[in-house]
């Protein structure tokens, strides 16, 4: 005796003004009676405060109460029977009626470290006393409506950057200080989620051989806790663009495909915000780095040069 939900789209992605469609599939050995089949659609923002810039006291609170975004119940079938064998019950429910007030904005699905925005659909077959109701839950993904989105291409906002020994705010190896280096480039800071992050980078000079150049895609999740904002950056993805001591003066392309689910359009909501940024790190070859094998890639080190760039992600057509 089992029940499951099959959504109409294999990627389970829907827009807020679309109908959520699919089938309820029940497999029962012999026909059973029920008191109605209900479909619940629920969406919420889960916030969790820990570490980061949150204080000790705030972190004690732990989980902040989840913020509901969406909660609806639909009757798919009134009470009756489900015949034996496999029974398919199609459904189509509107997530939001056209005239409905936007009480709470339907944010895009996001699986972050401290913040997660999730949507679920649950089917319940209620079966009276002493009988366990049959139930199944599936997560579906919400992407912003296409209607009110800007068209691609997004205005190409490129930021030009220079990384030299003088732009670093932490201590560097003496040979780096004296020998000097200069890495320049440009990168888009306003990016469509559907497009890769583009840019280019050139090592103009470097006295010390380079070991690696990486671009770290970071997210910064901030939560309003009382009067304070607890925000924590975390690493989403690292992309290496140079491996080893590369030729000077050659332009390297920066091309990063934005990972789905782990990113979403930049959000500034009242109680929380999700922002993104990029950190370019240049690792220089050094005997010292070999001593310290594994550590957090973004802690400033003597053989590391870094540059942080803002990144605004948007959903486009």
Partner 1 sequence: MGLKLRRRNYIEEKEEEASHSLRRFPSKINPLSSPSPLSQNKFVGIQDVKDNFTDPLRRLDRGTDTTQRDSRDDEFYFKAGILSEPSVQFPAKEWISFRKILLQKFPISKMIRVSSISSSIMKHGNVNEKSTINTHLEELDDPQRFTEVGIKLISQQDYFSCLNELKEEIRRAWHGDDRVTSLKLSIKVGRLLMDTSVEQFYPKLFLLATDIFDMLGELVWERIRQKAEYAENGSTIFSFPDNFKASDISSEAKETCGNWFSKIGAIRELLPRIYLELAILPCCRFVHDDPTDILQRLVMMTRGIGNPLASAYCRLYIVHRAQRVPQCGIGYLVTCINDLKILLYNIASTKEDRFSNFSGNRRLLLSLIEPTIEYTMKTVLKDSDQTRISEILVGLGLGKKQGDLFGQCACISIVLYHLLKELPIEVICSNAVGIFNLIEYNNDPSFDQCLNYQLLGFRLCERISQVYQFQEVANKVIQVVTCYSRLDEYLKIIDAYLDIIMKMDGYMKVILDGIFEHTSSKEVGDSELTSLQSIILKLLTYFDNIKDMLALEHFVDIIGAMRGSSRTTISLQILRMASRTPFLQDTTIIQFIYEVCQAIHDGMDISNSRSEEYQQATHLVSRFVNMVDYGPKVEQHLTFLVECRGSLGGFSELREPLVHLSNRLAINVMKNGNTISLVKSCLAFSEVTIPSVPVHIRQLNLYLETAEVALLGGLVSHFDGLVDSAVRCLENLSGFDGLQKSNDLAMITSLLCKLCSLMVLAPGKEDQGVTYLARRILSFLTSESGVFPKMKILVLCALVSSLAASCQNLPPYHAIQGEVVAYLQNALSLSDVLVQNMQAAILQEPSQAVRGQLALEACNCIASSFSASRETSAICSSLMETAKSSLSVDDKYLTSSLKFLGKYQDVLRVQGEQTHEL
**CA–CA gap between residue 285 and residue 175 (Å, rounded):** 11
| H or E element that contains 218 | strand 210-225
**What are the structure tokens assigned to 259, written together?**
């990972």
Choice from 24, 69, 208, 256 touching partner 1 (CB under 8 A):
256
The least distance separating partner 1 from the CB of residue 281, rounded to whole angstroms, comes to: 12
Is residue 210 a contact point for partner 1 (CB under 8 A)?
yes
| β 63-77/304-314 pair status | unpaired
Which residues lie below 8 Å from residue 123, measured CB to CB, with a gap of 6+?
3, 5, 24, 37, 38, 39, 40, 76, 134, 135, 136, 137
Q: Which of residues 10-29 bind partner 1 (CB under 8 A)?
A: 10-11
Is residue 282 a contact point for partner 1 (CB under 8 A)?
no
Choice from 297, 302, 312, 314 touching partner 1 (CB under 8 A):
297
Residue 283 Cα to chain centre, angstroms: 27
Is residue 238 a contact point for partner 1 (CB under 8 A)?
yes
Is residue 213 a contact point for partner 1 (CB under 8 A)?
yes
The least distance separating partner 1 from the CB of residue 216, rounded to whole angstroms, comes to: 10
Nearer to partner 1 by Cβ, of 116 and 212: the residue is 212
Is residue 156 a contact point for partner 1 (CB under 8 A)?
no
Is residue 175 a contact point for partner 1 (CB under 8 A)?
no
**CA–CA gap between residue 291 and residue 4 (Å, rounded):** 53
Is residue 241 a contact point for partner 1 (CB under 8 A)?
yes
**What are the structure tokens assigned to 96, written together?**
């939001």
CA nearest neighbour of 7 among 85, 90, 79: 90
Q: Total binding residues for partner 1 by CB under 8 A?
A: 34
Give the x-and-dash track for 64-103 against partner 1 (CB under 8 A): ----------------------------------------
Enumerate the β-bridge partners of residue 203: 183
CB 80 within 8 A of CB 33: yes
Is residue 253 a contact point for partner 1 (CB under 8 A)?
yes
Chain residues binding partner 1 by CB under 8 A are 10-11, 196, 210, 212-214, 237-247, 250-253, 255-260, 289-290, 293-295, 297
């Amino acid at each position: 005796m089992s029940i499951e939900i099959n959504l109409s789209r294999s990627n389970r992605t829907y827009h807020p003004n679309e109908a959520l469609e699919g089938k309820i599939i029940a497999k029962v050995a012999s026909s059973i009676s029920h008191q109605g089949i209900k479909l619940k659609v629920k969406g919420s923002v889960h916030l969790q405060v820990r570490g980061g810039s949150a204080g000790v006291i705030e972190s004690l609170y732990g989980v902040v109460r989840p913020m509901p975004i969406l909660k609806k119940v639909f009757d798919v079938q009134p009470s009756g029977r489900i015949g034996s064998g496999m029974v398919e019950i199609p459904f189509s429910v509107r997530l939001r009626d056209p005239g409905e007030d936007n009480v709470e904005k339907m944010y895009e699905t996001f699986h972050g470290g401290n913040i997660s925005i999730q949507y679920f659909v649950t089917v319940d077959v209620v079966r009276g006393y002493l009988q366990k109701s049959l139930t199944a839950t599936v997560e579906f993904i919400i992407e912003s409506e296409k209607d009110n989105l800007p068209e691609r291409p997004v205005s190409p906002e490129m930021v030009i950057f220079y990384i030299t020994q003088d732009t670093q705010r932490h201590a560097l190896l003496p040979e780096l200080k004296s020998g000097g280096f200069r890495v320049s480039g440009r990168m888009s800071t306003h990016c469509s989620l559907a497009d890769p992050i583009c840019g280019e980078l050139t090592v103009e000079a470097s006295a010390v051989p380079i070991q690696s150049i990486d671009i770290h895609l970071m997210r910064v999740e901030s939560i309003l806790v009382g009067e304070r904002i607890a925000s924590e950056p975390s690493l989403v993805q690292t992309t290496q663009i140079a491996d080893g001591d590369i030729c000077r003066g050659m332009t390297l392309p920066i091309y990063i495909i934005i990972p789905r689910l782990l990113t979403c359009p930049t959000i500034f909501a009242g109680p929380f915000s999700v922002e993104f940024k990029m950190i370019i790190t240049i690792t220089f070859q050094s005997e010292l780095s070999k001593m310290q094998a594994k550590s957090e890639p973004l802690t400033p080190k003597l053989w590391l040069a870094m540059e942080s760039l803002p990144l605004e992600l948007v959903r486009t057509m």
